[in-house]
Structure 1
Amino acid sequence: MQKRINFVCMQSDNKVSGGYIYNDYVLGGLSKLGYEVVHHDAKSYLADAGQNAHSCASEHVIIDSIELNALLLALSSDANEVQLSRPIILCHLPPELQLDAQSAKLSNSDKSCECTHECMSMQQLIQRSMLVTTGTACTQYMQAEYQLKDAQLEMVMPGLPAQWKRKSQYSNAPKRLLVVANLIPNKGYELLIEALSQIKHLDWTLDFYGDCDFSPEHAEKIFTSMQQSGLRRRIEYGGTVTQSELNEAMIKADLLIQLSPFEPFSMVSLEAVSSGLPMLSAKTGEMDYFRQSGHVRYLDTLDSREVAKVLSELINDTEKYSELCQSHDTALRSWNEVTLEFHRLLLNLETTHTLQCAGNS
């Protein structure tokens, strides 16, 4: 029997970096290893789940954390009285930090819920699941927030395409700035605009890439703020690009700026340091791992004056910038390695599931 993965996640064709890229590479790799991967949104999965919920076959349910809130809302409907088997939650980001985080408040005490059966809370769903996180920060957060046992958690960090290229030439000063982040809340755009407004007298330009369709209203606010701050003529928006195009943009840039206050791993940091691109970053993501590259300057505080101060320092002080340009040997972690780690995890779960089913028969 062919192994099957029911993957529950809203899909997006506009990808730059982050969770959607991770999903594509891992699921594509698992398909090559013989898994049948079936994509669902929350409602379409629950429509089929009753037939398979108690199967002992080699079948897995993987729920992307971006779909958790929608899944809970669907489960709260009378039409979806489904008992989920123990799913795998692929936790790119804690559910309360997702765009639709207000839905995470759904619980058995929610007075607006008119269900005739008991609703499942986010806490209950997560505690009955296996969690795969993509970085140390997310692992520690989820374990503390949801009181998870060590056996419920696995960490499978992201990788890179095998052909990822490194910079071979550096400018004397970081005049070509780069930002790679979707235009959504908590990605640091407001802070960036405030900081850049303070260094208009310096010689710099900014290219930025990201999806503006996840939160159109917020994206419009960012564009309006850039215009009102008098920065628009110095800033170029490139929309969404392929991984190879992103790699080329990093080769051409002088400095990547990452101001998101919470990143469970920060794939864009991995992509930047593996490109040999110097970074100015908030203290977030897999800091100990990225610090080894020598390419990252971490901010002491995350406020606009500090960002403006450090940018001015790097632009004006050749020596300080050149320290971030020193070549370091960085071991690239391939997507094939990531896929094999995920595959071993699924095999272990299949073995455990088979033993449990045998014991119950």
Structure 2
Amino acid sequence: MSRRAVFAIPGDIDTVTGGYVYEKQVLLGLRRAGWEVVHLPLPGSFPDPTPEDMRVTGDAFAALDPDVPVILDGFLPGATDPGQLARLRPPFVAVTHHPLALETGLPPARAGHLYRVERANLARAAHVLVPSPETARTLVAEYGVAAGRITVAPPGVTRPPTDAPGRATAPPLIVSVGLLVPRKGHDVLLRALAEIADLPWRAVIVGDAPDPACAADLETLRARLGLARRVQFAGLVAEDDLARYFAQASVFALATRYEGYGMVFAEALAHGLPIVAARGGAVAETVPAGAGLLVPPDDVAGFAAALRRVLGDPAARAALAAASARHGAALPGWDDTAGIAAGVLERIAPA
């Protein structure tokens, strides 16, 4: 069979978010494995495409070779008008990191629209690629996707260099990584940090701010809680700077309300960091027992207590760090993820 494919991705493929990193690494991994994969760039307004961008996307779909399978970035099956997606003639694999309707804080009408669109489009997919068993279960139970049409391809991890600098210990650095959007729970983290203000620590929250209102609310909350001098919003940082934060951290903390996988937790494991997190979505499967302390989403008191335990008990922190490093060493690489994607393409490609 021909080892050709198209990978359709809206926006900038170099965007530093879990979804974009996943798809870029799968694309590159397929190429390393000998696949001729064409990157099809599409307009960047997804998941809220303008009418013109929707038309451009449909035209791009209609122009594709019907004999070359296509992989669709998660925004596309989730937000493309089904009529435009119907113009796509080749078989396609839908990548679903997590259903778009599950984003925290969506108005009910918007969530309902996204649910209907994604359900209709996934029904047309030849196969669906997901990062976790949790997302697979959600698609089967709530979106009507047959389990036999879903393959779990866990994200790979880029391992830190062996000569990474040592961690800072005075005061301990708490690192959190996630977009400044309601789903990531940074408001819960800030409130929890305020409850442990008696302990020595400093914190940095790394992540872009695609939701200006949420970012402004977090700035206001940080000031109101008296944390402006102890908590830094670092924004979007370069890969080297993010690696430096991980290398210097004593704890990784993210109070996310829902994750389809949570690639940043895998990064924390690869760096051997103790983890404090909320167990929303797939987090309980991504963070192994013994490597972190997990509490229910939106549990400020529980999150604060977990942070207090990790920061205040060196023996507990060391045990969590050792388990984290052990599990991190066993995580797959990106070539493993790409190999799973290749197997799916081979199954759906026209004879």
TM-score bin, normalised by smaller chain: 0.7 to 0.9
Q: Within 5 Å, which residues of 2 pair with 1:209-288? A: 209-212=206-209, 214-284=210-280, 285-288=282-285
Larger displacement relative to structure 2 (301-310 or 143-152): 301-310
Partner Cα distance (1:164, 1:87) in 2: 37
Q: Paired residue for 1:111?
A: none
Q: Which residue in 1 is equivalent to 2:49?
A: none
1:36: which partner in 2? 38
Does the aligned pair in 1 maintain the 2:177–2:264 contact within 8 Å? yes
Q: Which one has the largest radius of gyration? A: 1
* d(CA) in 2 for partners of 1:92, 1:11: 17
Indicate the larger mover: 63-72 or 203-212.
63-72
Equivalence for 2:73: 64
Matched, 1:24 2:24: yes
CA displacement at 1:44 relative to structure 2: 2.5
- Is the CA contact 1:164–1:275 (under 8 Å) kept in the aligned structure 2? no
Normalised TM-score (structure 1): 0.81
Name structure 2 gaps, 5 residues minimum: 44-53
Gap runs ≥5 in structure 1? 108-119, 355-361
Q: Which amino acid aligns with 2:94?
A: I
Once residues 150 and 10 of structure 2 are traced to their aligned partners in structure 1, the CA distance between those partners, rounded to angstroms, is 20
Alignment CA distance shift 1:6-1:175 (3 Å):
closer
Structure-1 residue corresponding to 2:48: none
Q: Is the 8 A contact 1:61 1:88 kept in 2?
A: yes
Does the residue aligned with 2:229 lie in a helix, a strand or coil?
A: helix
State the AA in 2 paired with 1:319.
Answer: A
SS of residue matched to 1:106: helix
Give secondary structure in 2 for the equivalent of 1:238: strand
Give the match for residue 117 of structure 1. none
Cα distance 1:138–1:173, how it changes in 2: closer, same or farther (>3 A)? farther
- TM-score by structure 2 length? 0.83
Structure 1 residues 325 and 312: alpha-carbon distance in aligned structure 2, compared to 1, 3 A threshold: same
Q: Give CA-to-partner distance per residue, 1:189-238, whole Å, 9 cap, x none.
A: 111121122222221110110011x2122112111211222111111222
Q: CA shift at 1:301, angstroms? A: 6.3
Aligned partner of 2:174 in structure 1 is 177
Deviation string 1:51-108 (CA, Å, 9 cap, x unpaired) is 447x2x1x22322222345412xx56xxx5944344321101112124778545339x
* Aligned mates of 2:85, 2:262 — CA distance in 1: 37
Q: Which one is further off, 322-331 or 97-106?
A: 97-106
Q: CA deviation at 1:315?
A: 2.4
- What residue identity is the alignment partner of 2:318? S
Q: Does structure 1 residue 90 correspond to structure 2 residue 99? A: no
- Asked whether the 8 Å contact 2:119–2:144 carries over to 1, the reply is no
- The amino acid of 1:84's aligned partner reads L
RMSD (CA atoms): 2.9
CA distances 1:157-216 after superposition (whole Å, capped 9, x unpaired) = 10122555597856778821110011011101111121122222221110110011x212
Q: Aligned partners of 2:13 and 2:38: how far apart in 1?
A: 20
Change (3 A) 1:104 1:49: farther
The verdict on how the C-alpha distance between 1:25 and 1:343 changes in structure 2, with shifts beyond 3 A counting, is same
The count of residues paired between Structure 1 and Structure 2 equals 330
Q: State the SS of the aligned residue for 1:313.
A: helix
What is the SS of the residue equivalent to 2:25?
helix
Q: 1:319/1:191 Cα in 2 relative to 1: closer, same or farther (>3 Å)? A: same
| Cα distance change of structure 1 residues 219 and 14 upon mapping to structure 2, 3 Å threshold | farther
Mapped contact 1:191–1:303 kept (Cα < 8 A): yes
Contact 2:166 2:248 in 1 (8 A): no
1:7 aligns with 2:3: no
Against the structure 1 CA distance between its residues 299 and 183, is the aligned structure 2 distance closer, same or farther, given a 3 Å change threshold? Answer: same
